[in-house]
Amino acid sequence: MTTYRNLIDGVWSDSDSGETFENRNPADRDDLIGRFQKSTRSDVQRAIDAAHRAYASWRLVPAPRRAELLFRAAQLIAERKDALARDMTREMGKVLAETRGDVQEAIDMTFFIAGEGRRQYGQTVPSELPDKFAMSIRQPIGVCGIITPWNFPMAIPSWKIIPALVCGNTVVLKPAMLTPLSAVNFVEILVEAGIPSGVVNLVTGGGEDVGAELTTAPQVSVVSFTGSTTVGRTVALSAAPSFKKVHLEMGGKNVIMIMEDANLDLAVDGCLWGGFGTTGQRCTAASRVVVHENVYRAFLDRFVARARGLTVGDGLDPSVQMGPSVSQAQLDTVMRYVEIGRSEGARLVAGGHPLTAGAHAKGYFHEPTIFADVAPTMRIAQEEIFGPVVSVIPCTSFDDAIRIGNGVQYGLSASIYTQDVNKAFAAMRDLYTGIFYVNAPTIGAEVHLPFGGTKSTGNGHREAGTVALDVFSEWKSVYIDFSGRLQRAQIDTTELPA
């Protein structure tokens, strides 16, 4: 059994605490994956100091040269995709096909953003004055504190770290305590690709120590966080006094709207994949399905039959379709919401129980669960559960569906199933979310378009796409006067020569 270390200033080192924590397989608690450093605020401070020192030279490396190292990293991830995916399934439970997808997102993001090493476009504009040049350039910001969740243990670190690096920043990464191995694997590859010492640092441990230090330390200029809305609020509050740039990517309660003209087979497939993929543990999960009353019964019967037929088990087994919840705490949350749904009067039509016998005895398994006849105001239709629980809500019209769809505090992703192009476009315009799908579920965003949400899902920033650079750079406007005389800008234009 391996004890993994923090990476600080290019050295894999033990925490000052002398303590470690365990990482176990959520499909089999007996499977101990490794021990990781339970880090202190002093460890984080050393990592921040290292990142701060490394920034002085990394920011001056030409962006195309920085990108060369990133291209090399993408290549290495691709070569090791299978082993990385297996480690990830073992530490967080989602099925191998999905962890391969997670690693692939890291590959795609790294190649895509490395390309930005040659494309950090600014603007060149005419000056108001003669013999004067005007332009804007992107500048790196400094040390970035990166705080990542367990549900996409390699993809999300890559979404944040790679754009931070290509812009010339340095990084301290705090991965979720449930998935530190994928973070170590990712950072090891960055080191192997030639990223210099101190440019990327990794510190494992809890939010109250590692996270708190990253969000308050004066030398950290940017914080990028993906996780729950509750923790996101804490991050924003603790980063506010030092005016850090804060990027938050938080909860979702995403809706699939099924209109009466929808292709129901397609819709059922979409709801299964959107609702139960990653065991429902995606911020983009389709946890609400709003169905037109005229097709409600037909849809529900098929959806329930298919959900009951899903094979739940260890994600390393290729015949398994849905893995465990990531932890006991997450499973407890799922069970608590099943109770809440029952007590609110929703009709439990599939699942509803943990799976504890036989092959399921040692993991955090739960049946794919569907509540029908859910009222839009019920807690199971309002609150993010982050588990395999889908609420099906009847609606009477297109307008009713839009109203229900928008009637939550979150705004990440939404989808409509319809054959009517007019309804599709109207819904695309009127759903107040950051991502929208037509005839596809709410999950599966691609790396080269912006990713993020409205309302309590985010704070106005986006990651992925070329706009990812906006979080990790700031603009400098540059004026070069080569006239050799004093020229006064913003004078009354009547003073200009005829």
Binding mask 208-247 for ligand UN1 (x = CB under 6 A): ------------------x---------------------
Catalytic site residue from 144, 271, 283, 395 = 283
Binding mask 391-430 for ligand UN1 (x = CB under 6 A): ----------------------------------------
Interacting stretch for ligand UN1, rule CB under 6 A, among 259-267, 361-369, 377-385, 442-450? 442-450
- Inter-CA distances, 176 with 168, 197, 202, 208, 395, Å: 25, 23, 11, 12, 38
Q: How many helices (H) and strands (E) does the chain have?
A: 15, 23
Query: 239 in helix, strand or coil?
Result: helix
How far is Cα 53 from Cα 55, in angstroms, rounded to an integer?
5
Tokens of 72: 């090399």
Contacts with ligand UN1: how many residues (CB under 6 A)?
10
Annotation marks residue 249 as catalytic: yes
Interacting stretch for ligand UN1, rule CB under 6 A, among 135-143, 349-357, 437-445, 473-481? 437-445
Min separation Cβ 399 and ligand UN1, Å:
27
Q: Taking CB under 6 A as the rule, does residue 443 contact ligand UN1?
A: yes
Q: What is the DSSP letter of 352?
A: -
Q: Taking CB under 6 A as the rule, does residue 450 contact ligand UN1?
A: no
- Inter-CA distances, 137 with 222, 226, 236, 302, Å: 19, 28, 28, 55
CA 7: distance to chain centroid? 23
Applying CB under 6 A, among 151, 254, 287, 457 the residue interacting with ligand UN1 is: 151
Q: What is the DSSP letter of 219?
A: T
Asked if 368 and 322 touch (Cβ cutoff 8 Å), the reply is yes
**Which parts of 84-143 interact with ligand UN1 (CB under 6 A)?**
105
**In terms of CB distance, is 216 or 457 closer to ligand UN1?**
457
Burial, 97: exposed, middle or buried (Cβ in 10 Å; 0-12, 13-18, 19+)? middle
Asked if 90 and 316 touch (Cβ cutoff 8 Å), the reply is yes
Min separation Cβ 364 and ligand UN1, Å:
19
Asked if 274 and 286 touch (Cβ cutoff 8 Å), the reply is yes
**In terms of CB distance, is 69 or 74 closer to ligand UN1?**
74
How far is Cα 315 from Cα 94, in angstroms, rounded to an integer?
6
Give, for 236, the enclosing helix (H) or strand (E).
helix 229-239
Question: In this structure, which amino acid lies at residue 300?
Answer: L
**In terms of CB distance, is 142 or 149 closer to ligand UN1?**
149
Binding mask 43-82 for ligand UN1 (x = CB under 6 A): ----------------------------------------
Applying CB under 6 A, among 152, 303, 365, 398 the residue interacting with ligand UN1 is: 152
Quote the radius of gyration of the chain (alpha carbons, Å).
24
**In terms of CB distance, is 219 or 459 closer to ligand UN1?**
459
Applying CB under 6 A, among 327, 444, 461, 481 the residue interacting with ligand UN1 is: 444
Min separation Cβ 169 and ligand UN1, Å:
22
Asked if 444 and 412 touch (Cβ cutoff 8 Å), the reply is no
- In the chain, what are the helix, strand and coil shares in percent, each to the nearest 5? 40, 25, 35
Catalytic site residue from 105, 249, 367, 384 = 249
Give, for 332, the enclosing helix (H) or strand (E).
helix 328-344
Binding mask 265-284 for ligand UN1 (x = CB under 6 A): -----------------xxx
Tokens of 413: 């992703």
**In terms of CB distance, is 101 or 196 closer to ligand UN1?**
101
Q: What is the DSSP letter of 200?
A: E
Annotation marks residue 271 as catalytic: no
**In terms of CB distance, is 207 or 444 closer to ligand UN1?**
444
How far is Cα 276 from Cα 350, in angstroms, rounded to an integer?
12
Using CB under 6 A as the criterion, which residues of the chain lie in contact with ligand UN1 when the complex forms? Answer: 105, 151-152, 226, 282-284, 443-445
Question: Catalytic residue numbers?
Answer: 249, 283
